[in-house]
Amino acid sequence: MDKELFLFYNVENFFPPNDSQNPFLYNWDDYKYELKIKKISHVFRLVKDDLGQSPALIGLAEIGDLRVLKDLTKKHSPLQGYEIIYQKSDDSRGLSVALLLNPDKCILQSFRFLKFPLDDNSEFDSRDVLQAEVIVSNQKLQVFVLHLPSKRNLDIKKNLRNHILKKLRSMILELNEKGEKIIIMGDFNENPNQKMIQEICKDNADNTIVKNPFEVLFNDNTFSTFHGKKGVLFDQILISEIDKISHKALIYSNAKLCNKSRKNSQYPWRTYSGSRYMGGFSDHFPVVLILDYSQQ
């Protein structure tokens, strides 16, 4: 196949029923959970219909439990058979990242979960960063999936977010020196024009080591989610230069994933607005990177 899809999706507080860490536990039940499983599964049917194939790699954020991933990949799901990489993190909100691998397209070599506390004595109150070594279309890739600390509470965790990015940059530099090819996908809680995001793309001599194709989309006012009425593009996929492979970024904003209000139709149709149940998919759109191998 000449193309492969890499997809990242923040699926918004996706807990199973009766999970005490769910902030909406009082307003969440089996029916709403099963409806969300169907809705998120349907996203991947739409992706296949619209883009012509299923993703090779799927990074997910805001997963509350392994059960969610098992239910998403169960029999008759469009994700049936995908390999699950997940570990519950020490995040105070009970949320973690995960990676799903298409067994027809990927070979998993290894994986680990990384913590970057600010100091040796501090508790790591954030999501782990997942690192996996994966072979896709005969190309070995070092894949990172992350969900960096949010801007909640007047951005109290900004220092931790920047700290994680600095640690991650050191790893990227080391891997690049070894000739490794790198994919970084996630919710960075920063836009592509933010200094720390741009610094992770460069080595110490200011040479580009990973590209951020989502920066062009952001400059064109294309967004993956909204904070209030302000559009942001926190969801991004960064990639090393790979010989004879071109790539294209897109925000997957199929009309079925959009708010049903004509006034707010550019917004994602979210599960909750504050504490009010909205019955939608997520407060984020999926983001996709299309790799084109046809030049090889």
Tens-digit pLDDT profile for residues 46-79: 999 999 999 999 999 999 999 999 999 999 999 9
Q: Are β-strands 57-63 and 3-14 bridged in parallel, bridged antiparallel, or unpaired?
A: parallel
| Angle at the Cα of 87 from the Cα atoms of 35 and 162, rounded to 5 degrees | 100
CA nearest neighbour of 3 among 53, 41, 73: 53
Long-range contact set of residues 156-161: C-beta below 8 Å, sequence gap at least 24: 157/126, 159/118, 160/118, 160/126, 161/189, 161/190, 161/196
Q: Are β-strands 181-187 and 139-147 bridged in parallel, bridged antiparallel, or unpaired?
A: parallel
Tens-digit pLDDT profile for residues 77-100: 999 999 999 999 988 889 999 999
For the chain, which residues make up each domain, given as ranges?
3-292
In the numeric block, which tokens belong to residue 216? 């062009």
| Angle at the Cα of 67 from the Cα atoms of 63 and 72, rounded to 5 degrees | 80
Average per-residue pLDDT for the chain: 93
Decide which of 3.60.10.10, 3.40.50.1580, 3.40.50.2000, 3.50.50.60 is the CATH code for 3-292.
3.60.10.10
Q: How far apart are CA 277 and CA 195, in angstroms?
A: 36
Q: How far apart are CA 247 and CA 241, in angstroms?
A: 9
